[in-house]
Amino acid sequence: MAVLAIMVGVAAIAVNRYSVRRQSDLIETILPAMQLASRIGETTEVVSTLATAFVHADTPEDLKKVASALGLAVSKIEAGARELEGINPLPPDNTSSEAAKIVERMARNGQEELRLSIAIARAGGELGRVGDQLDRLVEAETDLARLKITAGIAGIYAGQEPDLRSSLDTLADRYFFAFERLAELARMVDTIRLKFQQVPDIVTADEVARLTSELDEQIELAAGRITYLPTGAAQQEVTALIQTFRDALAVEGLIDLQRMRIALQNAIATDSEDLRLVISSLSDRARQARDAVQATGLAHMTEVQRVSSQMTAALLAWVIAAVIAGAVLWLYARKQLVARLANLSAALSRLQAVITARLL
């Protein structure tokens, strides 16, 4: 009986330890996968925020910080995805190195775009100063032309001009015409200045091409009005200043800088979208790995439950068999003991009778 009890106890302990160990193994597998998937999801949201901040960074220092944080977040996602795939391997993919390359390229283009922004701001400020100087020169020359007109009219009224008709023709054909051209030049300079001020806000290459064509036409028209300036010194100075406007349309000029800046902005926008797709792919792979781990865990859990049920049923059968065996042994032992005691009692009775007979 003691042996049967020991055997039943050992079997029960074995079943219990098997169930506990298998469930602990499942928890140790599924729980890290769930935690990793949760961290990857949180980091993915951080990447989206950092990508937006990257586009709006306005200093090299801020851009460097954002790029560093973005690279760190991407590395965490890649490491988490690889770890999840290690728990439940998936087909190989090259998204990890691609994400790192995209972030590196975005950082490089972002620094160059900031450099161009600074150069554009400087060039724009210089063109603004040139425009102010042109305004002052044209205004002074316009005042001088106005004085010549006034002097000519005064000379006619004072009778200082012997040939009145010739003087009126000169006044109309030369002074008034030159005055009108100078007024046109002033308006053209203002138009050119306004268009150059619009350059940093242009966002497409088509707009750059259109504005370049308009500026080129306006500058040439303005250059054609230089000959109507009253003084030669002013003509030379205005010619030099107009050349500054022309230089802004040349290679490495304001327009070319903005064209390169737009190309970089487009490249950064494309890389940002590519990074979003890569991160989305990594997140999907992590989610698939998590789901695979969960599915495997559930399958193992079902198997454990099935095996545990079978072992429990076997243990119950074993207990029942042990109880029956114990009962049989008990009955057998009891029957044998009673029979032996009866024989012993009969033998003792016979012995007592013999002893009594001899004594008598």
Tens digits of per-residue pLDDT, 94-128?
A: 445 577 888 888 889 988 999 999 999 999 999 99
Tens of pLDDT, residue by residue over 59-88, are 888 888 888 888 888 887 777 777 766 666
Tokens of residue 126, six digits: 């210089």
Q: What is the pLDDT of residue 214?
A: 93
C-alpha span between 230 and 189 (Å, rounded): 18
Ranges under pLDDT 70 in the chain: 1-38, 84-97, 147-175, 286, 289-305, 307-315, 318-319, 322, 326, 329-330, 332-342, 344, 351, 354, 357-360
Tokens of residue 312, six digits: 């429990």
Q: What is the pLDDT of residue 103?
A: 85
- Report CA 173 to chain centroid distance, whole Å: 67
Which has the closest alpha carbon to 108: 76, 75, 48, 67?
Answer: 67
Helix axes 95-158, 254-359, angle to 10 degrees: 160
Q: What is the pLDDT of residue 245?
A: 93
C-alpha span between 18 and 309 (Å, rounded): 12
C-alpha span between 87 and 172 (Å, rounded): 94
Q: What is the pLDDT of residue 240?
A: 93
C-alpha span between 326 and 330 (Å, rounded): 6
Q: What is the pLDDT of residue 95?
A: 47
